A and B are shown apart, each in its own frame.
Chain A
Amino acid sequence: MNQENYTILGVEETATDDEIKAAYESLKAKYNEEKWQDGEAGNQAARMLGKLDAAYQEIMEERAEQAKSTSGPGAFEEVSNAIKSGDYARAQSILDNFNERSAEWHYLQSVVFYKKNWINESKKQLEIAIQMDGENTKYRDAYEKLKAQSDYKKETGGAPNVHADPASGDAQMGGNWCSSCASMCYTYLCINCLCNLCCSCR
């Protein structure tokens, strides 16, 4: 059936969509002219015209179906699974095979870049995804999270954030354990001097 459709149109199975369309249009014009002929020739052309239309419709539907299975929601799932299992090279190769690059494609590409520590590229892909689909909160959340990585500058006034381990506290503080002892001694010395001023008691 499939092969027959292509023979009716007079093209190879490997022909592109544009080539098929061109063949369809030229054949349609030819049969449209021939169908006004007298006798069997006219009838034959009219019959071929019907067949031609059916064949063209079928081929186009089939091709749309195929395109969906390689770059549709199923393929997105495949990419997500590859990312989850840590196989970023596979995820990247699936992404590279997509014909149509939707917002979701750019989002997944940004995740792959993020996992590879290519943060700048990841941010760029997210920006494109948001531009294409601004409604999606998933893209926006991811974008805000990325942007927050450089936010510490606002908190520290541009100084580097040096807390690698949040639980460690400030290691440079400390050394205060005997400060009260020292101040007691000092106060005692001062009082002693003052005492010596008036009554010279020794």
Chain B
Amino acid sequence: MFGYVRYDLPNLFVKDVMLYKSLYCGLCKGIGASCGQAARMGLSYDVTFLSALLHNIAGQDIVIERSHCFEHCIRKRPIAAADDMTRALGALNTILVYYKLTDDVLDSGKGRSRRAWFRRGYRRAKKSYPELDAIVGGYIKKQAETERANTASPDAAADPSALMMQEIGDWFLKDKASEFTKGLFYGLGKWVYLIDALDDYEKDGKKKRYNPFVLSYGGGTRQELMQKYGEEISFLFDSLFYSLRVNLAGIPFRFDRDLTDNIILRGLPAETARVMKGEKRKKTKDKV
């Protein structure tokens, strides 16, 4: 679920590297502010991306200041100030992490202690943002029902996760939400679900766990899958990228859109291509 939303480094502007870094640090501080120190361990790039996208669409200015933090205690770093939206995103991050870990516990019975680490932060998030918890909790339940029903169609299987993302977007954007933002967030949620499923294709096939691709195309190796059904799977993702592009074009952006465009239009297709080939993620020294 986490870790698939990536930038495409060769096409990333230097100014956006700075922006992304400071948003990342800002989100970390936002988690600290809304959920307490322990929950900062759950910080993810996925929610950082959401932060960039939501700030931009909502027209909320990002104020960057130089300050210290726990990890960077000697040199000052540019950090985006933790505004209301960032704090809410921090809570969202903790809620998502907590539900994901709960899912892991239910799946394999492991990871109870990891979940316990986030329990306090989750309670705080739930108390201050009950609507967010209701959205995520409700759709996680629906997702589990869909999976228990052995839904074979990838479109249908990804629907609850996609709708969850759509509602999260609506909640943050309020009156700025439009048909286009709904479509964009739906597509993003769907992509995250599908890429996770495709990445786990071989593993789930072996362990006989639920996976829409295994149910639709039968288990086996990734190579066989792509050889036989590559065209169909490519179409699934290409049409998804098409809808992301159409929806992006319909959204007025207040500031500069380069960072989010880089991630949505280049990063996601690049990551999809990587997962389709079954390659490991390349570790770059010059990481952001």
Contact = CB atoms under 8 A, between A and B. Distances in A.
A119 interface: yes
Contacts of B242: 149-150, 152
- Interface size of A as a range: 20 to 34
Nearest to B242: A149
A102 B266 CA distance: 41
B234 A120 contact: no
Chief secondary structure at chain A's binding surface: loop
A146 B239 contact: yes
B259 to A, nearest CB: 12
B20 interface: no
A121 B156 contact: yes
B232 A120 contact: yes
A123 interface: yes
B238 A150 contact: yes
A164 to B, nearest CB: 4
| Prevailing SS type, chain B contact patch | helix
Contacts of B190: 117
B155 A113 contact: yes
A118 interface: yes
A21 interface: no
A165 interface: yes
B265 interface: yes
Interface stretch (B28-36, B201-209, B243-251): B243-251
A143 B241 CA distance: 18
Closest 5 CB pairs of A and B: A150-B238, A118-B155, A119-B239, A164-B248, A160-B269
Given A117-B186, A120-B155, 9 more contacts: A118-B159, A119-B235, A120-B154, A146-B239, A150-B235, A150-B239, A160-B269, A161-B241, A164-B249
Interface of B: 11, 153-156, 159, 162, 183, 186-187, 190, 232, 234-236, 238-243, 245, 248-249, 257-258, 261, 264-266, 269-270
Interface of A: 113, 116-121, 123, 146, 149-150, 152-153, 160-166, 171-172
